Amino acid sequence: MTNVNITLSISEELHKKMKEHGEIRWSEVVRKIIEQKLADLELLDKLTGKSKLTEKEARELSEKINKAVAKKLGIL
């Protein structure tokens, strides 16, 4: 598998806080969050594929999942 690089913009304040924890591999943290988000979206697609949910309802459900994952990861 070939890896692809992405560029991420963050605030100066966030960057300073991250530098205080140089022992953490931030790219790995972001990679795991992206993987979890994609897994959530795939599950949402499976659940809503045969569902009669509207796009708005599906989006609201996705937001709830995002918040739950962020809370679990200690982001919120």
63 within domain boundaries: yes
Flag residues of the chain having pLDDT under 70. 76
pTM of this prediction exceeds 0.75 = no
Domain contains 5: no
Express each pLDDT in 29-38 by its tens digit: 999 999 999 9
Whether residue 57 is contained in a domain is answered as yes
pLDDT of residue 76: 66
Note the pLDDT of residue 24: 95
Domain for residue 52, yes or no? Answer: yes
Note whether residue 61 is domain-resident: yes
Question: Nearest Cα to 33, choosing from 6, 72, 2?
Answer: 72
Is residue 20 included in any domain, yes or no? no
Q: Would you report the helix, strand and coil content of the chain in percent, each value rounded to 5?
A: 65, 0, 35
Q: Is the dihedral of CA 7, 28, 69, 15 positive or negative?
A: negative
Is 19 inside any structural domain? no
Domain that holds residue 65: 25-72
